[in-house]
Amino acid sequence: MVRAEDLVVETFFVGPLQMRCSVVCDTSTGDTVVIDAGDEPDRLIAWNDEGGGTGPNWSSAPGPVRAGDRTVVALLNTHAHFDHSGHIPTVRKHWGVEWWLHPDDTFLQSLAQQSAARWGLPPLPEPAEADHDLAHGETVHVGSLAFEVLHTPGHTLGGVCLLLRVEDAADHLFVGDTLFAGSVGRTDLPNTGGDFQLLANSIHTHLWPLDGDTVVHPGHGPLTTIGHERETNPFVGVGAGEHGAYGRGKYA
């Protein structure tokens, strides 16, 4: 388990939808995992390889991790909407690493180019195919880092949350668009399998039992915690009742 003093988590809000790409580094080994490397590949590469470019929007480190001290060892995805996965082929080729995705999002992934076109966005590369399947209840060991996989369908069929347990500090949970600060992911997007009751059930079953101080890194918007959302989220929090305040969230 990674020690709190060795862990650096950095957020890059990338692309027109300002999607959160999380870069997780164990500074005791330099092993680095990039979660949802969906856009701005040049920016991610410049920072991870040389400490160059504009860098992250937010970092848990007191100062930058020194250039050359980190090695990207894997790419993981919370789900396959194009804003989260569209540029995986670019970074996977550059770093020569493998990519993990839940197989229930394979079809969605195959539509990345059409989805971006529908939003009127620049063309994407030919969609990647995952090298490894993420499976509920399994722990993915990548370099010196380990992530527990929680399958949380509802925003997409293959949506997962990735739990990074930390020694002597709060754990971190990378949730994609399953949960946001004060909201939840949209369930009305085409070809996705979105379903609000399924999403609420996933959150109630797999997220609410986690420690309240677990830091939640959503796919869009600010950080939050499990405890705060469990108490106050108007869609799925304890006060929202079985059906929540609304039937859908607001982000893609």
Binding region for Zn ion (CB under 5 A): 81, 83, 177, 219
d(CA 226, CA 67): 33
Q: How far is the CB of 36 from Zn ion (least distance, A)?
A: 8
Q: How far is the CB of 218 from Zn ion (least distance, A)?
A: 9
The single-letter code of the amino acid at 121 is L
Which of residues 21 and 145 has its CB atom nearest to Zn ion in the complex?
Answer: 21
Which strand (E) or helix (H) includes residue 106?
helix 106-110
Which of residues 154 and 219 has its CB atom nearest to Zn ion in the complex?
Answer: 219
d(CA 148, CA 188): 28
Which of residues 7 and 99 has its CB atom nearest to Zn ion in the complex?
Answer: 99
Closest CA relative to residue 137, chosen from 125, 152, 124, 122: 152
Q: How far is the CB of 108 from Zn ion (least distance, A)?
A: 9
At residue 32, φ and ψ (nearest 5 deg) are: -135, 135
Which of residues 31 and 177 has its CB atom nearest to Zn ion in the complex?
Answer: 177
Which strand (E) or helix (H) includes residue 35?
strand 31-35
Q: How many residues does the chain have?
A: 252
Q: How far is the CB of 158 from Zn ion (least distance, A)?
A: 11
